[in-house]
Amino acid sequence: MPWPVAILAMALLLVGIYYYGRLVYRLFSGFGGTLRERGYKSPALKIGLAAIAFGLPPLITLAVLGYGHDQGIWLIAALYVALPVLLVYLARRLPARNPRTSGRRQLRFPYRAVGYTLFPIGLGFWIAGAASNTAGLFQIGTVSIAGGLGCLTIARRAAQPDAGAVLAQDPRPPVIYLRPFQQDEEIFAQVPWSWSGYRRYLTHSYLLRKSRHLTLEDFLGTEISRRLGPFIALGNPADFVPPAGAARTYVADDEWPRHFAAMVRGARCMVLFGASSEHVMWELKEIRALGLESKLFVLTRPKLTPSTTIPPWRTFANSLRQAGYPPCGDDAGPGAVVGFKPGGETVILKRDAKTAAEMVEAIARRLP
């Protein structure tokens, strides 16, 4: 094949792989979202069907080409696209279930054992693919390793102690984390790309994550637990396993208002990443009605990198006003710790904080 034609063919192949990857990603994201909407929270179903969708075509490819049936290549190409589409269709046909459950999260599927099994299997396929220069084996290995890591992550999260166990071990009054449930994975702090940045902002457990994008729980959880008290939160009933961070307690939808009132009465303080939702508005009103405003602290995102965006303070200030709090004063700005006087008037305790220690210190100084 002349080299100009070979270059063109390679370019077309790369373009095709890129657009196929985008198609599969969108279909698979839609598949996962559909499963959650239908009430199927267990990743076992998603992981198993994903293994079929991404593992079966390479196996069929190897079988067809191994027997010399080159004319079957178009059928194989169609299969790569058809399987993800079929998965989305089947997910929409599943009977609906209630996705919101209370109580401690228990795993019925052996995620840890499967994770430790899939990971070495994937490495074996990688080695075999590299030795034989077979892309199909390499793809199977990639799917196996990704599935194994996913299973181990689920097992690690499920093994975290719940709020009851944490409170039983630590007699100090707890710190309650308030937030809209959809904010559980929202980025609070973006750590600069540098080793000193990792060493300054992250504990050993976060180093294992190899991430510079931290949630509020990542950024502040360790320091809060060390300085103030056990860090707990009401969990999202739609969670399959609890996220990493504050210890969760999961209660039924009709019980959470009563449970919330009991939690905040016994809390040392409450922290809130400045955001609003219907439930947060109710919680702000309940805190005001109980006369516990002085225990509430609102935090804003620290500006640690030039690309960090700071949500406008006036949006949250409007939510406070709607919840019955007096009008706020100046814009708190980035890295702020905002407290409340009895009666609900805001007071800025710290501006432009750069570390978790600075934020927690501002809270600690305000507490009795």
Two tokens at 189?
Answer: 């702090």
Rounded mean pLDDT of 311-340?
86
Question: What is the mean pLDDT of the segment spanning 197-213?
Answer: 47
Q: Rounded CA gap, 184 and 248, in Å?
A: 12
Structure-token pair, residue 295: 């225990």
pLDDT of 210 > 50? The answer is no
Tokens of 44: 């076992």
How high is the pLDDT of residue 130? Answer: 76
Distance CA 95, CA 63 (A): 35
Q: Which two tokens stand for residue 128?
A: 């075999």
The winner for highest mean pLDDT among 47-56, 57-66, 189-198, 349-358 is 349-358
Q: Averaged over 208-218, what is the pLDDT? A: 70
* Residue written as token pair 């069907």: 49
Residue 186 reports pLDDT greater than 60: yes
Average pLDDT of the residues in 235-247: 89
Q: How confident is the model at residue 74 (pLDDT cuts 50, 70, 90)?
A: low
Q: Where are the alpha helices (DSSP H) in 94-203?
A: 111-132, 135-158, 163-169, 195-201
- The rounded radius of gyration (Å) of the Cα atoms in the chain is 25
Does 200 have pLDDT greater than 70?
A: no
In the chain, the percentage of residues whose pLDDT exceeds 70 is 76
Least confident span in 151-165, 315-329, 343-357:
315-329
Does residue 76 carry a pLDDT above 70?
no
For residue 128, the tally of other CB atoms under 10 A from its CB is: 14
pLDDT value of position 211? 55
Band (pLDDT 50/70/90 cuts) for residue 270 is very high
Between 161 and 66, the more confident residue is 161
Tell me the CA distances in angstroms from 37 to 31, 33, 97, one per residue in order.
Answer: 10, 6, 9
Q: What is the mean pLDDT of the chain?
A: 81
Q: What is the pLDDT of residue 68?
A: 55
DSSP symbol at 70: G
Q: What is the CB-side half-sphere exposure of residue 314 using CA atoms within 13 A?
A: 0
Name the pLDDT band for 217 (thresholds 50, 70, 90).
very high
Q: Inform me whether the pLDDT recorded for 194 exceeds 60.
A: no
Q: Is the pLDDT of residue 305 over 60?
A: yes
Assess whether pLDDT exceeds 70 at residue 209: no
* Phi, psi for residue 126 in degrees, rounded to 5: -60, -50
Write down the pLDDT at residue 262.
93
Q: What is the pTM of this model?
A: 0.75
Give dist(CA 235, CA 158) in Å, integer.
13
What average pLDDT does the segment 189-199 reach? Answer: 61
Question: In this predicted structure, what is the pLDDT of residue 206?
Answer: 38
pLDDT number for residue 62: 63
pLDDT band, residue 57 (cuts 50/70/90): low
Structural tokens at position 222: 């360790």
* Residue partners of 191: CB distance under 8 A and separation at least 6: 197, 198, 201, 202, 212, 213, 214, 304, 305
Mean pLDDT value of segment 232-243: 90
Average pLDDT of 332-357? 92
Query: pLDDT at position 27, please?
Result: 65
